[in-house]
């Protein structure tokens, strides 16, 4: 399944603590240049992207749907620019993600071309019609908060903005969205958009729960979803 022997993955993980201790001030949330820009200017090869994604599929599932409990996000259908940015940020330690770090490194999946390839592959996968949603106890508040605070960047249908690196929220798992909000509020997401950081810091816990619940219920367009929750990726079955 994985392209690196387990002992190498463990060695990389062991070195992460030291690497994190050597990181200085965080770069701007989305400054130009570096591996991100290199990957975005390359043509992605979805055939090689399938091979790269084999490393990712163990956690994000062959379908790219992640887990309904929010442990892993849905990647299928997400803007390629967003995925490239997050991978590049994890690799450069501009986003703390110790679990994913060893599997995102060039030693595990390849360089900038691999990033371009894997997002090309993910773009070909249909999204889950059955993502994890919140409890549904404060939906009117969540809808209003979304309209007042989130539409400008993430769109009225949760469609995001590929050019501005704003992720799609359509079909994303409630628990994953909520965890990102909480990490931003706790200043644990170094690569978060500063405008969003300011907004989230003003939210109460009730408001966080409500707006994440609403966002999790925004479904992708029908033509972007798999025909059923039982769909299996034929590339891995």
- Mean pLDDT along residues 158-180: 97
Instruction: For the chain, give the mean pLDDT.
Output: 89
Q: Domain 139-224: give its CATH architecture.
A: Orthogonal Bundle (1.10)
Q: Kindly report the CATH class assigned to 6-128.
A: mainly alpha
pLDDT digit string (tens) for 120-134?
999 999 999 999 999
What pLDDT is stored for residue 6 in this prediction? 41
pLDDT tier, 33 (very low <50, low <70, confident <90, very high otherwise):
confident
Token digits for 10?
């463990």
Domain edges within the chain: 6-128, 139-224
- Mean pLDDT along residues 178-202: 94
Among 105, 217, 230, 208, residue whose Cα is nearest residue 158: 217
Residue ranges in the chain assigned as alpha helix (H): 6-21, 34-40, 46-60, 80-91, 101-104, 106-109, 112-122, 139-149, 151-154, 174-185, 194-201, 205-216
What pLDDT is stored for residue 28 in this prediction? 66
**168 contacts 74 by C-beta, under 8 angstroms:** no
- Mean pLDDT along residues 9-29: 43
pLDDT tier, 16 (very low <50, low <70, confident <90, very high otherwise):
very low
């Amino acid at each position: 399944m994985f392209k690196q022997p387990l002992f190498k993955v463990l060695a990389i993980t062991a070195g992460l603590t030291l690497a994190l201790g050597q990181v200085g001030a965080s770069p701007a949330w989305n400054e130009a240049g570096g591996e991100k820009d290199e990957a975005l200017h390359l043509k992605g090869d979805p055939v090689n992207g399938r091979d790269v994604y084999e490393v990712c599929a163990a956690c994000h599932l062959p379908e790219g749907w992640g887990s309904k409990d929010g442990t892993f996000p849905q990647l299928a259908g997400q803007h390629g620019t967003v995925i490239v940015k997050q991978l590049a940020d994890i690799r450069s330690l501009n986003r703390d993600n110790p679990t994913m770090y060893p599997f995102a490194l060039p030693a595990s999946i390849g360089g900038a071309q691999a990033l371009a390839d894997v997002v090309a592959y993910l773009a070909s996968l249909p999204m889950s019609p059955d993502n994890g949603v919140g409890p549904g106890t404060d939906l009117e508040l969540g809808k209003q908060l979304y309209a007042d605070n989130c539409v400008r960047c993430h769109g009225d249908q949760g469609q995001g903005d590929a050019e501005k690196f704003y992720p799609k929220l359509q079909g994303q798992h409630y628990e994953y969205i909520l965890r990102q909000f909480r990490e931003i509020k706790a200043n644990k997401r170094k690569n978060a958009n500063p405008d969003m950081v300011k907004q989230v810091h003003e939210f109460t816990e009730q408001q966080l729960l409500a707006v994440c619940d609403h966002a999790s219920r925004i479904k992708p367009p029908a033509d972007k979803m798999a025909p059923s929750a039982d769909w299996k990726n034929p590339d891995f079955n």
